[in-house]
Amino acid sequence: MPPRAKAFMPVGYYKSSSEAVQLNIEEFEVFRLLDYEGLTQVEAAKLMQVSRSGVARIYEKARYKLAKALTEAKKINIEGGSNLFDNDWYECERCNSKFNNPARESPRVCPLCNSAFIHMVNN
């Protein structure tokens, strides 16, 4: 799912260093799926169409970058990576996962739980 913001910037007494932390879209998505949506690494891997070990590596990088940004008061830019966004997003009514379909074919089932109860949502 595309991030709602392109960057985050620290505010406060201490000045941030000029160097920003670059969080790519895959790192953002893994962080969102695991920590915000509460999915397991296996579930996230299935949604992202990567291996579970791939999710673990991406998650480790994302956690380090976020910890660095918070600890050193650095700006976080969210951009880049190997991603494809389109306007056709779907939501599963059973497991609440959100997914898109780059092939532009209407999906018949949720890629995570195989439920047929899915509907199109707007970006």
Report whether pLDDT(49) > 80: yes
Note if the pTM is more than 0.85: no
What is the fold, at CATH topology level, of the domain defined by 1-12+19-82? Arc Repressor Mutant, subunit A (1.10.10)
What is the predicted pLDDT for the residue at 62?
Answer: 95
What is the predicted pLDDT for the residue at 100?
Answer: 72
**CA-only gyration radius of the chain, Å:** 16
pLDDT for 63-122, tens place per residue? Answer: 999 999 998 888 999 876 555 445 567 888 888 877 776 566 777 888 888 899 988 875
| CA-to-CA separations, 6 to 10, 11, 47, 103, 121, in angstroms, rounded | 14, 16, 22, 26, 21
Residue 52 tokens read as 């579970």
* Alpha carbons within 13 A on the beta-carbon side of 112: 24
Cβ–Cβ under 8 Å, residues 113 and 95: yes
CA 48 to chain centre: 9
What residues does each domain of the chain span?
Answer: 1-12+19-82, 84-123
Q: How far apart are the first and last CA of the chain?
A: 9
pLDDT for 6-38, tens place per residue? Answer: 888 888 767 666 789 999 989 999 999 999 999
